[in-house]
Amino acid sequence: MKNHLVFVYGTLRKHEPNAHYLDHARLVARQSWTHGELYRTESYFPALKPSEQNIAYGELYEVSDTLLKRLDELEGYNEEEEHNLYSRKIQTVYTDMGAYQSNVYFIHPDCEHMLTTPVSFSDWKIDRLWNEKPHFYYFAYGSCMDHERFQQAGVDHYFRDIIGCGVLHNYSLAFSYHKSDGGRADIIEGEGYVEGIVYKLPFEAHEYLFQREGVHGGVYRATFVDLICEGKSLNDVLTFTVTDKQKDQAPPLHYAREISGGQKGLSVNRT
């Protein structure tokens, strides 16, 4: 029996309506992306259209022959038929741990009329945040834990509902965004853990976070993680990761001080 890699970008992702299909699949990488342009469709679910100029974010799984056939049925794909809802192709999927050749489902050319609007920031989960959630959890790490910066920006009223210390497993802290004076903090999927502060924020707080992290300019991107906070599991917690990761570069002293100031109350011994 052969195993296959499958990149998922919509309702099959963690905590989405069809995620149960992948309950017994191996998650290879939660932070994954591939070339393509992601759209909403007339029936609400997302669909990927081939494009070398755009990328779409999702998750990468390893599945069995049997499960791949179930996914084909879900996506309306039959390799023996000419007219399908989706096409399944092999193409490169990128992760923090390297690149893989994976199955990717694309909308069939005959069905492109079903596409409506591009998905916000090429990420289905971000698009759903935009449209469905009045509040969200936010995981702050690095200098983002410095409350003085919230006060200076006049947004500290958003950040009063502190849930506690969050521990993000299977990630490590890096300084992979380079500025003229040194590196800035990032999370890299793989091994280790990262500590930070978890907040519950009103939806309108995202405007400050996206501006601060340079999301619209492609510096950082918003993503979702599962973590442990004060002994409890929290799912789909918003955080930010560097879009174009570089090799580690030491942070400047003033930035290191911001990180140190924000670490008050965190314990490196928590798990």
Domain ranges of the chain: 3-129, 133-269
Per-residue pLDDT, 166? 97
Average pLDDT, the chain: 92
Instruction: Kindly report, residue by residue over 150-207, the tens digit of the pLDDT.
Output: 999 999 999 999 999 999 999 999 999 998 888 999 999 999 999 999 999 999 999 9
Per-residue pLDDT, 209? 95
Q: Which of 16, 37, 75, 213 is catalytic?
A: 75
Contacts with 219 (C-beta within 8 Å, 6 or more apart), sequence order: 177, 213, 242, 243
Ranges under pLDDT 70 in the chain? 130-132, 260-271
CA distances from 115 to 37, 55, 107, 111 (A): 11, 17, 9, 8
Per-residue pLDDT, 80? 82
Q: Which of 70, 73, 49, 48 is nearest to 61 (CA)?
A: 70
CA distances from 88 to 49, 85, 117, 206, 270 (A): 12, 10, 22, 35, 43
Contacts with 257 (C-beta within 8 Å, 6 or more apart), sequence order: none
Helix H or strand E encompassing 116: strand 115-118
Per-residue pLDDT, 132? 67
Superfamily of domain 133-269 in CATH is Gamma-glutamyl cyclotransferase-like (3.10.490.10)
Per-residue pLDDT, 2? 85
Whether 52 is catalytic is no
Q: Which CATH class is domain 3-129?
A: alpha beta
Q: Two tokens at 113? A: 């009329």
CA distance 95 to 109: 27
In the beta sheet, which residues pair with residue 181? none
- The answer to whether 105 touches 93, Cβ cutoff 8 Å, is no
